[in-house]
Amino acid sequence: MASSSSGDLSEVKFLTVAEVASMMRVSKMTVYRLVHNGDLPAVRVGRSFRVVEEDVHEYVRKSFYNAG
Protein backbone atom coordinates (compact mmCIF):
# COMPACT_ATOMS: atom_id res chain seq x y z
CA MET A 1 0.00 0.00 0.00
CA ALA A 2 1.49 3.26 -1.08
CA SER A 3 -0.37 5.25 1.57
CA SER A 4 0.83 3.35 4.61
CA SER A 5 4.53 3.78 3.85
CA SER A 6 4.63 6.75 6.24
CA GLY A 7 3.11 4.61 8.99
CA ASP A 8 0.29 7.09 9.69
CA LEU A 9 -2.97 5.26 9.05
CA SER A 10 -5.13 8.09 10.40
CA GLU A 11 -4.94 9.85 7.02
CA VAL A 12 -5.80 6.74 4.99
CA LYS A 13 -9.23 6.69 3.34
CA PHE A 14 -10.64 3.24 2.73
CA LEU A 15 -13.13 2.73 -0.11
CA THR A 16 -15.61 -0.08 -0.70
CA VAL A 17 -15.51 -2.08 -3.92
CA ALA A 18 -18.67 -0.25 -5.02
CA GLU A 19 -17.02 3.15 -4.40
CA VAL A 20 -13.92 2.12 -6.37
CA ALA A 21 -16.12 0.86 -9.23
CA SER A 22 -18.00 4.16 -9.25
CA MET A 23 -14.77 6.21 -9.25
CA MET A 24 -13.31 4.21 -12.12
CA ARG A 25 -16.62 3.90 -14.01
CA VAL A 26 -16.34 0.10 -14.15
CA SER A 27 -18.37 -2.77 -12.72
CA LYS A 28 -17.81 -4.16 -9.24
CA MET A 29 -16.77 -7.44 -10.87
CA THR A 30 -13.92 -5.61 -12.63
CA VAL A 31 -12.71 -4.26 -9.28
CA TYR A 32 -12.91 -7.75 -7.73
CA ARG A 33 -10.83 -9.09 -10.65
CA LEU A 34 -8.19 -6.39 -10.11
CA VAL A 35 -8.04 -7.25 -6.40
CA HIS A 36 -7.89 -11.03 -6.93
CA ASN A 37 -5.22 -10.70 -9.64
CA GLY A 38 -3.08 -8.59 -7.31
CA ASP A 39 -3.26 -5.52 -9.55
CA LEU A 40 -5.06 -3.47 -6.89
CA PRO A 41 -4.05 -3.91 -3.23
CA ALA A 42 -6.94 -4.43 -0.81
CA VAL A 43 -7.60 -5.24 2.83
CA ARG A 44 -10.07 -7.98 3.63
CA VAL A 45 -12.54 -7.00 6.35
CA GLY A 46 -14.77 -9.95 7.17
CA ARG A 47 -16.21 -11.06 3.83
CA SER A 48 -15.68 -7.74 2.07
CA PHE A 49 -12.72 -5.78 0.76
CA ARG A 50 -11.56 -2.23 1.36
CA VAL A 51 -9.19 -0.41 -0.96
CA VAL A 52 -7.02 2.55 0.00
CA GLU A 53 -8.02 5.57 -2.09
CA GLU A 54 -4.41 6.44 -2.92
CA ASP A 55 -3.86 2.91 -4.25
CA VAL A 56 -6.73 3.47 -6.71
CA HIS A 57 -5.12 6.72 -7.89
CA GLU A 58 -1.75 4.97 -8.21
CA TYR A 59 -3.27 2.13 -10.24
CA VAL A 60 -4.89 4.61 -12.63
CA ARG A 61 -1.63 6.58 -13.00
CA LYS A 62 0.31 3.40 -13.83
CA SER A 63 -2.37 2.30 -16.28
CA PHE A 64 -2.08 5.54 -18.24
CA TYR A 65 1.65 5.01 -18.71
CA ASN A 66 1.23 1.35 -19.69
CA ALA A 67 -1.43 2.24 -22.25
CA GLY A 68 0.97 4.68 -23.71
Domains and their CATH numbers in the chain: 11-67 (1.10.1660)
Task: Supply the pTM of this predicted model.
Answer: 0.79
- Residue, of 62 and 27, whose pLDDT is higher: 27
Which residues have a Cβ under 8 Å from the Cβ of 16 and sit 6 or more positions away? 48, 49, 50, 51
- pLDDT, tens digit, 9 for 90 and up, residues 28-64: 999 999 999 999 999 999 999 999 999 999 999 988 8
Judge whether 49 and 17 are in contact, CB under 8 Å: yes
Please give the average per-residue pLDDT across 12-27, as a whole number.
97
